Amino acid sequence: EVHLVESGGGLVQPGGSLRLSCAASGFTFSSYEMNWVRQAPGKGLEWISYISTSSSPIYYADSVKGRFTISRDNAKNSLYLQMTSLRAEDTAVYYCARGWFDYWGQGTLVTVSS
């Protein structure tokens, strides 16, 4: 059974940094593209980043380009999102999702506030 488990969320001050992780199991992680998607409180889904199986190419939404970095470790079956220069508008539940979002994790909440 496919499982995606995000971790690393929490409360961070504006301008701060945070690193999210997504542990994958139940499938051959190295064979699948992966994504990060976020959802601000009471709002819709926003795709923010994509990484291919070999880590190239990588794509970002304009809203996070230059501030967030997606990466993966196929040996550890893990996906990461390094977030820097965080803003209040980055407050959201962050989900990792496989391929064309056929499986999702349960999400991890990131709150950016002073």
Partner 1 sequence: QSVLTQPPSASGTPGQRVTISCSGSSSNIGSHTVYWYQQLPGTAPKLLISKNNQRPSGVPDRFSGSKSGTSASLAISGLRSEDEADYYCATWDDSLSGRVFGGGTKLTVL
Give which of 53, 61, 66, 71 is closest to 92, Cα–Cα.
Answer: 61
Q: Which is nearer to partner 1, 4 or 112 (CB)?
A: 4
Would the CA dihedral through 15, 45, 93, 95 be positive or negative? negative
Q: Which is nearer to partner 1, 31 or 57 (CB)?
A: 57
Q: Which is nearer to partner 1, 16 or 63 (CB)?
A: 63
**Binding region for partner 1 (CB under 8 A):** 35, 37, 44-47, 50, 59-62, 95, 100-107
Smallest distance from the beta carbon of 43 to partner 1, in angstroms?
Answer: 8
Instruction: Judge contact between 34 and 96, C-beta under 8 A.
Output: yes
